[in-house]
């Protein structure tokens, strides 16, 4: 994988009408933050990107902001879901080609744990704020045959800074 973008869902309502965590929708601010982040991302991403998102409503709504700008399809995956874990997400990374750019829209602490693992940081999760993007790239010096995914931090962007 050439580039990997971890995008935490934007601000969501505290409780859904159904009472289910997975049904929590974005707030008005969350929708605005997702739109702003999607606009920023669309400026810099290549033309062929895969978007993978948790099936939770707040993640689907966040990802759809980018889909509306680009037309890219969103793949809903329980691997990015509320009840997943970091290792499942890291295992999913092995299915992508070396030249692929992928956007993962999901939840804390799993996104932060994956980022820390890929950057070879401490086992503690990186603090990924709501609506924020952490953009990782594979270094040019990384070998394609290496089984361990080597990534470097390229950018961190928060909705409040756009």
Please state the length of the chain: 162
Model confidence band, residue 147 (pLDDT cutoffs 50, 70, 90): low
**Full strand arrangement of the beta sheet holding 133-137:** 74-76, 49-53, 101-106, 3-8, 133-137, 152-157
Tokens matching residue 130 = 């709501």
What is the mean predicted confidence (pLDDT) over 86-103?
A: 92
- Alpha helices, H only, the chain: 28-44, 57-70, 86-92, 110-118
Given a contact cutoff of 8 angstroms between Cβ atoms, the answer to whether 53 and 60 are in contact is yes
| Model pTM above 0.75 | yes
The model's pLDDT over 120-135, given as tens digits with 9 standing for 90+, comes to: 877 788 999 999 999 9
Tokens matching residue 94 = 């092995």
Model confidence band, residue 109 (pLDDT cutoffs 50, 70, 90): very high
Three-state SS at 38: helix
Domain ranges of the chain: 3-161
Distance CA 119, CA 122 (A): 9
Q: Is the pLDDT of residue 98 over 80?
A: no
Q: Is the pLDDT of residue 144 over 90?
A: no
The model's pLDDT over 21-77, given as tens digits with 9 standing for 90+, comes to: 999 999 999 999 999 999 999 999 999 899 999 999 999 999 999 999 999 999 999
CATH number of the 3-161 domain: 3.40.50.1240
Distance CA 108, CA 80 (A): 10
């Amino acid at each position: 994988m050439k580039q990997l973008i971890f995008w935490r869902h934007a601000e969501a309502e505290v409780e859904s009408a159904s009472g289910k965590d997975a049904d929590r929708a974005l707030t008005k601010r969350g929708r605005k933050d997702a739109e702003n982040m999607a606009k920023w991302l669309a400026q810099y991403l290549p033309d062929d990107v895969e978007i993978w998102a948790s099936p939770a409503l707040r993640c689907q709504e966040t990802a759809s902001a980018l889909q509306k700008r680009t037309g890219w399809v969103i793949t809903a995956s329980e691997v990015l879901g509320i009840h997943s874990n970091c290792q499942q997400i890291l295992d999913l990374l092995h299915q992508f080609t070396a030249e692929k750019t992928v956007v993962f829209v999901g939840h804390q602490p799993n996104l932060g744990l994956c980022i820390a693992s890929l950057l070879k940081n401490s086992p503690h999760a990186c603090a990924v704020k709501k609506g924020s993007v952490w953009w990782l790239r594979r270094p040019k010096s990384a070998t394609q045959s290496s089984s361990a995914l080597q990534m470097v931090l390229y950018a961190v962007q928060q909705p409040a800074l756009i």
